[in-house]
């Protein structure tokens, strides 16, 4: 990816030109202060790319979205999404997901937007195995469409939250051939988060003009080093979906080859997805700390990713970080069972935060350090695990969070 100045801006999914959004409470969630139905709309048809959960059990909305994108030739114009109910493992799930697309298209057409049902992306999140009532969604569609606006991003971002404690949005602007382009997105997720795919529900918009096949290639490559390096609890959800809609309204010459403009776009997409990934990790259910493991000195990218993810996914290590215990042996243990080839006797490990850095392992063996100093370092809310294999020049990062008492409490009564 090319180095290029990326300017963080506000607006989430509405930051790019030509995207409107809205969200409201339709009654799926009894808490009337919480939105549970969201809508994103582009002024024009978008080239679209998507990635989905690797779980064999897939929510009906994924089945319908895949079919819609195939039928439309990887084109979309709108996203309809609900929270509180995942619409998964239900006999009428596909029918309900299709109905959501039809209801959305019908109401948008009534307002003059010209949208086909197969141009609608549909997604759901929430409890698995409960029948999704379509009536509240149908009854609220008119108000949902009427409330669309070019600054409605936060209403939509609120609508996709389940156990999330904060909304997750990120957007950047950058210059391309004299045109200002934007990539922005929103995400939800707090628990049931683990590679691979993407994990959680994520919707990204851009006003860049780019070929659909290249858009898919870029998304797949960037997901590998962002969302697929994220783990909260080891559970891969049934409804995970990440879509990117590109409407071309920035006016740049359409990217149709893997040229410099393509690399700049990948840099922007990485910036957005990486920051959303970190937000998801930091807001893990019951979490008190964001954990970021950097693996440097690897012989290749897959080895770097595998080692970093192995550390982040270790329940014992996550518990140690909650207790602010520099039990570095758990890190070496996790590195040791990583499914990759390297010499463990060359590995260095350090722990770092805004409060300082302590070296805990050199050449695969422990070194003396101050437990008091370690406690100070681990007292911060963002902890960095620095692993150096010293066997190459490739690096990668993975993100997660600590494992706390509250995680068990939250998931002990999730359905209520």
Active-site residue list: 199
Query: What are the percentages of helix, strand and coil residues in the chain, rounded to 5?
Result: 35, 30, 40
Do 254 and 206 touch, CB atoms closer than 8 A? no
Q: What is the DSSP letter of 313?
A: T
In angstroms, rounded to a whole number, what is the distance separating the alpha carbons of residues 58 and 86?
10
Residue whose structure tokens are 């934007």: 182
- Determine which helix (DSSP H) or strand (DSSP E) holds 70, and give its type and residue range: helix 60-72
Q: What is the DSSP letter of 72?
A: H
Residue 92: HSE in the Cβ half-sphere, 13 Å Cα cutoff = 8
Do 57 and 31 touch, CB atoms closer than 8 A? no
- Length of the chain, please? 416
Sign of the Cα torsion 194, 169, 240, 140 reads positive
In angstroms, rounded to a whole number, what is the distance separating the alpha carbons of residues 66 and 82?
17
Do 353 and 378 touch, CB atoms closer than 8 A? yes
In angstroms, rounded to a whole number, what is the distance separating the alpha carbons of residues 90 and 124?
13
In angstroms, rounded to a whole number, what is the distance separating the alpha carbons of residues 258 and 216?
12
Do 302 and 397 touch, CB atoms closer than 8 A? no
Print burial letters for 285-308: b (CB count within 10 Å at least 16), e (below 16): bbbebbbbbbbbbbeeeebbbbbb
- The answer for residues whose C-beta is within 8 angstroms of residue 70's C-beta and 6 or more apart is none
- Tokens at residue 267, please? 């840099």
- Determine which helix (DSSP H) or strand (DSSP E) holds 191, and give its type and residue range: none
- Tokens at residue 174, please? 């950058």
């Amino acid at each position: 990816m090319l180095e290029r100045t990326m300017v963080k801006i506000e607006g989430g999914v509405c930051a790019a030109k030509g995207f409107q959004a809205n969200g409201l409470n339709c009654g799926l969630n009894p808490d009337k202060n919480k939105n549970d139905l969201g809508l994103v709309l582009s002024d024009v048809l978008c080239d679209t790319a998507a990635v989905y959960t690797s779980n064999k059990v897939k929510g009906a909305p994924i089945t319908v979205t895949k079919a819609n994108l195939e039928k439309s030739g990887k084109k979309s114009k709108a996203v309809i999404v609900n929270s509180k109910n995942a619409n998964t493992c239900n006999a009428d799930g596909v029918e309900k997901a299709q109905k959501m697309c039809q209801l959305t298209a019908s109401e948008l057409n009534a307002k003059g937007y010209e949208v086909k049902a197969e141009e609608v992306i549909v997604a759901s999140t929430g409890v698995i195995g409960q029948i999704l009532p379509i009536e509240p969604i149908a009854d609220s569609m008119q108000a949902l469409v009427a409330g669309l606006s070019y600054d409605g991003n936060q209403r939509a971002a609120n609508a996709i939250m389940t156990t999330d404690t904060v909304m997750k949005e990120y957007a950047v602007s950058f210059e391309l051939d004299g045109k200002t382009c934007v990539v922005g997105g929103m995400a939800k997720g707090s628990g049931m988060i683990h590679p691979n795919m993407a994990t959680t529900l994520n919707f990204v918009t851009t006003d860049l003009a780019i070929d659909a096949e290249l858009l898919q290639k870029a998304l797949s490559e960037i997901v590998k080093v962002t969302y697929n390096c994220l783990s909260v609890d080891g559970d891969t959800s049934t409804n995970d979906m990440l879509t990117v809609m590109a409407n071309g309204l920035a006016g740049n010459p359409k990217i149709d080859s893997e040229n410099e403009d393509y690399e700049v776009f990948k840099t922007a997409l990485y910036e957005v997805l990486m920051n959303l990934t970190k937000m998801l990790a930091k807001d893990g259910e019951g979490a008190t700390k964001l954990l970021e493991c950097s693996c440097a000195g690897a012989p290749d990218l897959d080895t770097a990713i595998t080692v970093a993810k192995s550390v982040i996914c270790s329940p014992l290590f996550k518990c140690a970080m909650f207790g602010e215990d520099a039990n570095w042996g758990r890190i070496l243990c996790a590195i040791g069972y990583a499914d990759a080839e390297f010499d463990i006797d060359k590995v260095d490990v350090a722990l770092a935060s805004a409060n300082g850095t302590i070296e805990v392992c050199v050449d695969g063996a422990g070194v003396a350090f101050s437990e008091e100093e370690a406690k100070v370092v681990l007292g911060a809310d963002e902890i960095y695990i620095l692993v150096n294999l010293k066997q190459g020049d490739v690096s990668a990062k993975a993100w997660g969070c600590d494992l706390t008492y509250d995680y068990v409490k939250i998931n002990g009564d999730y359905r209520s």
